[in-house]
Amino acid sequence: MKAYVCREFGPVDSHKVEEIEDPRAEPGMVVVDVKAAGVSFPDVLIVQGKYQFQPPFPFSPGGEIAGVISEIGEGVDNWKVGDRVIAMVGNGGIAEKTSAFATTLMPLPESMDFKDGAAFPLNYGTTYYALKQRGELKKGETLLVTGAGGGVGTTAIEIGKAMGARVIAAASNQEKLDIAKRLGADEVVNYGDGELKEKVKELTDGLGADVIYDAVGGDIFLQCMRCVNWKGRVLVIGFPAGIPKVPTNLALLKGCSIVGVFWGSFTGREPEENAKNFEELFALHAEGKLKPEITKSYSLDEAVEAIKSLEDRTATGKVVIEI
Ligand SMILES: NC(=O)c1ccc[n+]([C@@H]2O[C@H](COP(=O)([O-])OP(=O)(O)OC[C@H]3O[C@@H](n4cnc5c(N)ncnc54)[C@H](OP(=O)(O)O)[C@@H]3O)[C@@H](O)[C@H]2O)c1
């Protein structure tokens, strides 16, 4: 089969799409013929050895896929060949076939095609967990989303609106803000000029946002700490702009919480809660309230280009590889 393969850590374009052996269905696992793979920021990091997990070589990136089961391993009796599934595979998804533990599979809902299925689990799973369980976002509260034109950011606008919040979407350029507005953001803020804090304060009568979904990190996180409301919750989602060093006096002055969000760990530690979240998310998708913002699809041969678009910050919404 063909796959984008990482044989040693290096820049995204130092790895190639090549022919490798098909995966086998080990006990407890299935093989899935991948129809679409979601691309996300961890793919940029994992091939360079900069992610929190470093798989053994050789490996393919790609943590989420949608496809059709083509082989069943020993001990798997609740799935069959031909089932349409979504799988969170950790890595190995940017390939024609991948193996997945049966416990990580979800049936692809009727309302979804393969592209939506591949675009769905990581970003919506993370955001719903972040806003519901970690941020305890309430109807009528103000939610600030940074990196609002990117993969997880676009889902935070949609889910924030579905939960009844007033959403302020913040991003670095007009193209990303136009997407945010189209997805339902009430207000948009361009932080390309570095003025996030002042603009959010202006939009909230000087109070600041109740919940902040920060998918950017770096200096943007520090600005978020300066425009959070009293008793606000600042959600730590990711760090494409770097891991900031936080002056903790800001948390004291604001009486706010800095709340870590690690969805992957949540799925393993609290599988029932995660399954309930997905029931609710799939229902919202079926009602048309959620729709992955897939702005560009690539072929497997274009995997480098697809991953690089996240690295160089040109990607908008969700990027998918169709196989
Ligand atoms: N906590 C969790 O469980 C969890 C789950 C999934 C993803 N994540 C993390 O969430 C973050 C976003 O992931 P994603 O897949 O949504 O990525 P993405 O689509 O590339 O979006 C990230 C956004 O970050 C902004 N950004 C600022 N500085 C950047 C830089 N130097 N390089 C690249 N982007 C930069 C960009 O928006 P502007 O240009 O508008 O600033 C970009 O749209 C990543 O750190 C990822 O690891 C965390």
Domain ranges of the chain: 2-120+293-322, 123-264
Q: Given the CA of residue 266, which atom of ligand 1 is nearest to it?
A: 3
Residue 255, by phi and psi: left (phi above 0), alpha (psi -120 to 50) or beta? left
Torsion of CA 65, 40, 263, 148, to 10 degrees: -130
| Pocket residue to mutate for ligand 1, from 131, 216, 293, 320, most atoms within 8 A of Cβ | 216
Distances (CA, A) of 66 to 34, 61, 311: 6, 15, 23
- Ligand 1, CB cutoff 6 Å, lining residues: 40-42, 122, 126, 147, 149-153, 171-172, 176, 215-216, 237-241, 261-264, 310, 313, 315
Q: Given the CA of residue 260, which atom of ligand 1 is nearest to it?
A: 1
CA of 239 to the centre of ligand 1 (A): 7
CATH architecture observed for domain 123-264 = 3-Layer(aba) Sandwich (3.40)
Torsion of CA 243, 315, 178, 170, to 10 degrees: 0
- Which of helix, strand or coil describes residue 11? coil
| Pocket residue to mutate for ligand 1, from 12, 39, 40, 64, most atoms within 8 A of Cβ | 40
Is-same-fold flag (2-120+293-322; 123-264)?
Answer: no
Long-range contacts of 251-258 (CB under 8 A, 24+ apart): 251/225, 254/208, 254/225, 254/228, 254/229, 254/230, 255/230, 255/231, 256/225, 256/228, 256/229, 256/230, 256/231, 256/232, 257/232, 257/233, 258/225, 258/234
Helical residues (DSSP H) of 170-270, grouped into ranges: 174-182, 196-203, 218-226, 249-254, 263-269
CA of 111 to the centre of ligand 1 (A): 27
Q: Given the CA of residue 319, which atom of ligand 1 is nearest to it?
A: 19
Give the residue ranges of the chain where pLDDT is below 50. none
Contact 83, 107 (CB under 8 A): yes
CA of 215 to the centre of ligand 1 (A): 5
Per-residue confidence (pLDDT) for residue 52, from 0 to 100: 87
Contact 197, 171 (CB under 8 A): no
CA of 300 to the centre of ligand 1 (A): 22
How big is the chain by its Cα radius of gyration, in Å? 20
- Which of helix, strand or coil describes residue 318? strand
CA 26-29-31 angle, to 5 degrees, is: 90
Per-residue confidence (pLDDT) for residue 194, from 0 to 100: 77
Q: What is the model's pTM? A: 0.96
Query: Which residue is closest in CA terms to ligand 1's atom 11?
Result: 238
Q: Measure CA of the first residue to CA of the last residue in the chain; give whole Å.
A: 11
CATH architecture observed for domain 2-120+293-322 = Alpha-Beta Complex (3.90)
DSSP β-ladder status, 209-214 and 228-236: parallel
Measured in whole angstroms, the distance separating CA 69 from the mean position of its chain's CA atoms is 24
